Every structure is written in structure tokens, then in C-alpha cells.
């Protein structure tokens, strides 16, 4: 095989993988699966997809070897094939945030609609935890917490927060985190905490970003 044929084939394969990623719904699925394995139904509940369509997108991801599936009882549990899949998505999102004016505008609007809440980075959070300064709150659904969370984090899903406010200390800063920078759950939690007189900020990114940096996680 000559070099040109070799290159054509390799680039075609790599473009195939990239094409499998190049769809808004599939990117959203990747981000959900980065929280942990889940059935098709869970993806449907957390996106605007129909069942058949979600399944179809998952097949596309599966045949590009970006996700794997395992049947357990009635459900097919889908997972990311490797942490590298998340890393590609992370690099892509990072590129988008820095290059695309439209994305920048959307993010700015979104933050403003949440009154420009303060956020902390992973390394800032790590420091605060080590110094015992902050209480860490995982506001994702409990299932996601159970399939992996930041070390020392407490699980209070967003919709249970109002009932459990009393359990939280008023003198300590609370850091809430969720699925990632595009997820609004932490923003909502922080907003509510502040409205009730607590001191709270959100983690800029989320659990998968923390994990992919090799920072301490628990299960």
C-alpha cells in the first residue's frame, strides 16, 4: 500500500469517529454518559429526544466505538467506551468556548440570568476542601452521585434541596457542583442557597472534568 492510500484510509477512519461526535444530541448524550452508565430511558428523560431517536443516536455512537452497551435485565446500560471520549469532548468544548462568539454570548446571557453567580475552579476547590473551608454539595440526581462523585461530597439532589436546607451549616461556604459547565443544576442550587441566607458558590465545571484531571473521587 502506498502512502497516499494509507493516509486516505486512516483519515477516513478518523473522520468517521469525528462524524459520530458531530451532532448536538450525541454531544449531549456523551456529556450525560460522562456522569456514569445509564439506560436509554434515562437519556430520554434528560434530553428532548424520543426513545427511538435516542436509541438510534446511541447505535451511531456504538458503531464508532465511542460507547459500549451492556444489557442488565430490562435495561441496556450505555457507557463511554473510554475516558478519552470525554477528553475529546472536553477539548472540543474548550475550543468552542474560546473561539465562538455566539457561544460566548449565550454563556454570558445565561450567567446574567443567574445574577452572575460566583464560581470556583477545580484547583481552588481542592484547596478549600483541604483547608476544611468549604462544604461540598453534589446536586445531581442520586443515581449519578452513586456511580461516582467528588471525594467528601454530600449528595443533595437539586429538587430535594429545599427540604434539606436545615441540615446545612450557615457559617461555612457551600460549593455546589453538577454535571459540568453547561449544566444549570448547580446554578439553581446556589441561587436558592443564597436566597435563604447561605454562603454558596458553584464549581465552574463538574464531576467528569474533576475526575479526568485525576483529582480525588469516590464511589
Partner DNA sequence: CGCACATTCAATATATTAATTGAATGTTGT
Partner DNA sequence: ACAACATTCAATTAATATATTGAATGTGCG
Residues of this chain that bind a copy of itself (CB under 8 A): 1, 3-4, 6-15, 17-19, 21-28, 48, 65-66, 81-82, 84-85, 87-88, 91-96, 98-100, 102-103, 106-107, 109-110, 113, 182, 184
The yes-or-no answer on residue 178 being catalytic is: yes
Among the listed residues 38, 122, 178, 183, the single catalytic one is: 178
CB of residue 170 to a copy of itself, shortest distance in Å: 28
Nearer to DNA, 62 or 199 (CB): 62
CB of residue 77 to DNA, shortest distance in Å: 7
Distances in whole angstroms, Cα of residue 93 to Cα of each of 104, 153, 166, 182, 211: 12, 26, 37, 10, 17
User: Do 42 and 48 contact (CB within 8 A), yes or no?
Assistant: no
Nearer to DNA, 66 or 156 (CB): 66
Nearer to a copy of itself, 104 or 127 (CB): 104
Task: Choose the contact partner of 10 out of a copy of itself, DNA, none; CB within 5 to 8 A by kind.
Answer: a copy of itself
Please give the grid coordinates belonging to residue 103: 457561544
For 185, the 3-state DSSP assignment is helix
Residue 3 CB contacts under 8 Å (≥ 6 apart), including other chains: none
CB of residue 28 to DNA, shortest distance in Å: 11
Please give the grid coordinates belonging to residue 136: 461540598
CB of residue 67 to DNA, shortest distance in Å: 10
Nearer to DNA, 32 or 136 (CB): 32
Where does residue 4 rank: exposed (0-12), middle (13-18), buried (19+ CB within 10 A)? exposed
By the criterion CB under 7 A, which residues form the site for DNA? 19, 22-23, 25, 39-41, 44, 50-53, 55-60, 69, 71, 73-76
Distance CA 151, CA 62 (A): 31
- Judged by phi (left if over 0) then psi (alpha if -120 to 50, else beta), residue 66 lies in alpha
Task: Choose the contact partner of 58 out of a copy of itself, DNA, none; CB within 5 to 8 A by kind.
Answer: DNA
Task: Choose the contact partner of 21 out of DNA, a copy of itself, none; CB within 5 to 8 A by kind.
Answer: a copy of itself
Q: What is the DSSP letter of 66?
A: S
In terms of Cα–Cα distance, which of 136, 203, 204, 194 is closest to 170?
194
Q: How many residues does the chain have?
A: 219
Nearer to a copy of itself, 49 or 129 (CB): 49
What positions carry a catalytic annotation? 178
Amino acid at each position: 500500500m502506498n502512502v497516499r492510500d494509507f493516509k486516505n484510509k486512516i483519515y477516513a477512519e478518523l473522520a468517521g469517529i469525528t462524524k459520530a461526535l458531530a451532532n448536538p444530541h450525541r454531544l449531549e448524550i456523551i456529556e450525560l454518559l460522562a456522569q456514569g452508565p445509564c439506560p436509554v430511558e434515562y437519556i430520554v428523560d434528560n434530553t428532548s429526544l424520543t426513545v427511538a431517536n435516542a436509541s438510534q443516536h446511541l447505535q451511531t455512537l456504538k458503531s464508532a466505538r465511542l460507547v459500549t452497551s451492556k444489557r442488565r435485565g430490562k435495561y441496556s446500560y450505555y457507557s463511554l467506551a473510554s475516558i478519552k471520549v470525554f477528553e475529546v469532548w472536553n477539548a472540543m468544548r474548550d475550543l468552542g468556548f474560546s473561539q465562538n462568539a455566539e457561544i460566548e454570548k449565550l454563556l454570558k446571557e445565561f450567567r446574567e440570568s443567574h445574577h452572575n453567580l460566583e464560581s470556583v475552579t477545580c484547583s481552588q476547590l481542592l484547596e478549600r476542601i483541604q483547608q476544611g473551608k468549604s462544604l461540598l454539595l453534589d446536586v445531581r440526581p442520586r443515581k449519578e452521585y452513586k456511580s461516582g462523585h467528588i471525594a467528601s461530597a454530600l449528595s443533595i439532589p437539586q429538587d430535594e434541596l429545599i427540604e434539606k436546607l436545615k441540615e446545612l451549616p450557615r457559617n461555612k461556604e457551600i460549593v455546589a457542583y453538577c454535571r459540568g459547565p453547561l449544566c444549570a443544576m448547580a446554578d439553581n442550587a446556589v441561587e436558592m442557597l443564597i436566597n435563604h441566607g447561605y454562603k454558596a458558590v458553584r464549581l465552574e465545571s463538574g464531576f467528569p472534568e474533576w475526575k479526568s484531571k485525576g483529582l480525588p473521587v469516590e464511589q
